[in-house]
Amino acid sequence: MRALDVTEAISNLLDLMRVRSTAYIAKNLTAPWGVHIDEHTNLARFHFVISGATWIGLPGTQETTKLTKGDIAIIPDGKAHEYFDSEDRTDRQSKNYPTPQTPARFELFDRESEDTHLLCGYFEIAAHTPPALISRLPDLLIGKHQNTSFGKKLGLVVDLLEQELSNPSGGSVVTMNRLTEVLCIHTIQDWFERTLPEDQNLMALSDPKTKLVLDRIHEAPEAHWSVEALARLFGQSRTAFIAQFKLATGMTPMHYVRTWRMKLAQKLLRDTQLSIDEVAFKSGYNDTNAFNRAFRRQTGKSPGAYRRSGAD
């Protein structure tokens, strides 16, 4: 592939994601420390090293990665993870943060201190992001501050974050949110650049015609979609379209439509007070009974029980 093709592919994948970051906590860590972060599947997490070092890993595995100044760790699917002052995992404390309801807390960064200073937070990936894209990302995505163009970008952001944490102002929280958003985007972009040329599934997902079909499904899940209608949008025969779509998403077109409708229904039940009939209609079901059956098959619960449980 030409370099321009790869660049366009990465741009399309990033456009399918769209992240919005929230810097949640900045803290000075004095050894010893060992922190276990509980799983939270609705939030991607990040930990960025402003100064010092920490080791990070996933529970149940022996592998850890050392992070030093300018390095970032992203946990795209919100899996549980741990970080320590050394490779030896000791003195763990259970923490269930961050969440959107918890107020931010930032400790001042002292350039003269030998403590490790971490800036942590979460980012929300756009609701329309195809599940196939999230599933391609590693459970623990590491961005290293090295002598590369990516590393230089991280270095610039470190300098800006140091300024905000050393001399906070009224707009510091908003500034740190945008800066960490840039960090997350650049880290994911760097991973795409290293992975995309060898990943046929990601290449298929980044195809502009695939993106067009996904955008239409996401914009109008209630439409009366059929394989034929989606194939016309894609501009290929029914057979060719099904093969390409399955390569890109891991699903047949109509399986994807049904899965997307259920994902939307779960969000509406969690985040709105719409009636079950209204949720069914907005999710593409004119028959509430058919919606109830489909929802129970997908989640194991009725829509009403799902709403009452406050399920993820």
Which pLDDT score, from 0 to 100, does residue 4 have?
43
Q: Which of 24-28, 99-103, 109-113, 236-240 has the highest mean pLDDT?
A: 236-240
Upper half-sphere CA count for residue 167 (Cβ side, 13 Å): 3
Which pLDDT score, from 0 to 100, does residue 75 have?
93
Structure confidence by residue, pLDDT tens digits, 175-189: 888 898 888 888 998
Q: Which residues, including other chains, have CB under 8 Å from residue 271's CB and lie 6 or more apart?
A: none
Q: What is the mean pLDDT of residues 246-258?
A: 93
Q: What is the dihedral of CA 57, 144, 135, 10, to 10 degrees?
A: 180
Structure confidence by residue, pLDDT tens digits, 130-177: 878 888 889 999 998 876 788 888 888 888 998 888 888 878 888 888
Task: Write down the pTM of the prediction.
Answer: 0.78
Q: What is the mean pLDDT of residues 232-251?
A: 93
**Residues of the chain with pLDDT > 90: what percent?**
37
d(C-alpha 25, C-alpha 61), whole Å? 26
Question: Which of 143-147, 225-229, 239-243, 271-275 is predicted with the least confidence, judged by mean pLDDT?
Answer: 143-147
Distance of CA 130 to the CA centre of its chain: 11
Which pLDDT score, from 0 to 100, does residue 13 have?
86
Which pLDDT score, from 0 to 100, does residue 282 have?
92
**Residues of the chain with pLDDT > 70: what percent?**
93
Identify any residues that bridge with 122 across adjacent strands, giving them in sequence order.
Answer: 22, 45
Q: What is the largest CA-CA distance in the chain?
A: 66
- Of the two residues 267 and 239, the one the predictor is more confident about is 239
Which pLDDT score, from 0 to 100, does residue 22 have?
82
- Of the two residues 220 and 96, the one the predictor is more confident about is 220
Mean pLDDT (the chain) is: 86
Asked if the model's pLDDT at residue 49 lies above 80, the reply is yes
Q: What is the mean pLDDT of residues 231-248?
A: 94
